[in-house]
Structure 1
Amino acid sequence: MKSSIVIVGAGAAGLMAALELSDHYDITVLEMHDQPGGRIRTVDKKYFPQPVEDGAEFVHGELPVTLELLHKAGINYTAVEGAFYRVIDGHWTQEEEMIEGWDELLSRMKSADAGMTLSQFLDKYYSEEKYHSFRKEVIRYANGFDLADENLASARALYDEWKNEQETNFRVNGGYGRLISYMEQQCREKGCRFMYQQTASRVEWTEGRVDVFTNENKVFTAQKILITQPVAVLGNPASKAFIHFDPEPVEYLAAAQDIGMGSVIKVQLSFSPAFWEADRPDTGFIISDEAIPTWWTQRPDEAAMLTGWLGGPPAAKWMNADTGSIVDMGIQSLSAIFNTDEKMIRSLLLGSHVCTWESAYTYPTPQSPTASALLRTPLKHTIYFCGEALYEGKSPGTVEAALVSGRQMAAIIRSNKQ
Structure 2
Amino acid sequence: MGNENAVLIIGAGAAGLSAARELTAAGAQVIVIEARDRVGGRIHTLREDFSAIPIELGAEFVHGKHPQLLEIIEASRILFCDVTERHWYIEKGLLSNSHDFWNKLTALMDLMNLEEPDRSFQDFLDSIPDDEAIVRAKAVATRYVQGFHAADVNRIGVHGLVKANEAEDEIQGDKSFRILRGYDLVTSSLLEPAKTNGAIVHCNAIVKELHWRKHQIEAVCLSRGQTQHFHASRAVVTLPLGVLQARPDQGGVRFVPKLPENKQQAISSLAMGHATRITLIFRERFWEGLDIPAAQAGQDLTDAGLTELGFIHYPDTDIPTWWTLLPVRAPVMIGWAGGPKSTKLSGRDAKYIEARAVNSLKQIFGVSEKRLRQLLLASHTHDWNSDPFARGAYAYLPVDGLSNQQILAEP
Provide TM-score, normalisation by structure 2.
0.87
Q: Within 5 A, what are the aligned runs for 1:73-92?
A: 73-81=76-84, 83-92=86-95
Q: Within 5 A, what are the aligned runs for 1:16-415?
A: 16-22=18-24, 23-45=26-48, 47-81=50-84, 83-96=86-99, 98-110=101-113, 113-127=116-130, 131-162=134-165, 164=168, 166-216=173-223, 217-237=227-247, 242-251=252-261, 252-278=263-289, 279-289=305-315, 290-358=317-385, 359-378=392-411
How far apart are the structure 2 equivalents of 1:150 and 1:238?
A: 29
How far apart are the structure 2 equivalents of 1:81 and 1:140?
A: 21
User: Does the CA-based 8 Å contact 2:159-2:402 persist in structure 1?
Assistant: no
**Against the structure 1 CA distance between its residues 246 and 167, is the aligned structure 2 distance closer, same or farther, given a 3 Å change threshold?**
closer
User: Does the CA-based 8 Å contact 1:112-1:156 persist in structure 2?
Assistant: no
How far apart are the structure 2 equivalents of 1:162 and 1:281?
A: 32
Structure 1 stretches of 5 or more lacking a match?
Answer: 379-418
How far apart are the structure 2 equivalents of 1:283 and 1:81?
A: 9
User: Does the CA-based 8 Å contact 2:160-2:402 persist in structure 1?
Assistant: no
**Against the structure 1 CA distance between its residues 88 and 97, is the aligned structure 2 distance closer, same or farther, given a 3 Å change threshold?**
closer
User: Does the CA-based 8 Å contact 2:319-2:341 persist in structure 1?
Assistant: no
1:40-79 Cα distance to aligned partner (Å, 9 max, x none)? 0111135434110111101112111111001111112111
User: Does the CA-based 8 Å contact 2:46-2:57 persist in structure 1?
Assistant: yes
User: Does the CA-based 8 Å contact 1:37-1:180 persist in structure 2?
Assistant: yes
User: Does the CA-based 8 Å contact 1:3-1:24 persist in structure 2?
Assistant: no
CA shift, 1:148, in A, is 0.9
Deviates more, 1:292-301 or 1:22-31: 22-31
How far apart are the structure 2 equivalents of 1:266 and 1:30?
A: 27
- Matched with 2:302 is none
CA shift, 1:240, in A, is 6.5
1:138-184 Cα distance to aligned partner (Å, 9 max, x none)? 11111110101100001232133245353321111201101111211
Provide TM-score, normalisation by structure 1.
0.86
CA shift, 1:83, in A, is 2.3
How far apart are the structure 1 equivalents of 2:181 and 2:205?
A: 28
How far apart are the structure 2 equivalents of 1:183 and 1:118?
A: 36
**Against the structure 1 CA distance between its residues 99 and 126, is the aligned structure 2 distance closer, same or farther, given a 3 Å change threshold?**
farther
**Against the structure 1 CA distance between its residues 325 and 235, is the aligned structure 2 distance closer, same or farther, given a 3 Å change threshold?**
closer
Aligned partner letter, 2:285: A
- Matched with 2:292 is none
CA shift, 1:110, in A, is 2.5
How far apart are the structure 1 equivalents of 2:256 and 2:130?
A: 49
1:313-338 Cα distance to aligned partner (Å, 9 max, x none)? 22112111121111111111111111
User: Does the CA-based 8 Å contact 1:272-1:349 persist in structure 2?
Assistant: yes
Deviates more, 1:241-250 or 1:8-17: 241-250
CA shift, 1:259, in A, is 1.3
User: Does the CA-based 8 Å contact 1:4-1:26 persist in structure 2?
Assistant: yes
Aligned length: 378
Among all aligned residue pairs of Structure 1 and Structure 2, give the percentage whose two residues are the same amino acid. Answer: 29
User: Does the CA-based 8 Å contact 1:5-1:223 persist in structure 2?
Assistant: yes
User: Does the CA-based 8 Å contact 1:49-1:303 persist in structure 2?
Assistant: no
CA shift, 1:239, in A, is 8.3
Aligned partner letter, 1:263: H
How far apart are the structure 2 equivalents of 1:315 and 1:307?
A: 14
User: Does the CA-based 8 Å contact 1:10-1:29 persist in structure 2?
Assistant: yes
How far apart are the structure 2 equivalents of 1:370 and 1:318?
A: 32
Aligned partner letter, 1:5: V
Aligned partner letter, 2:237: I
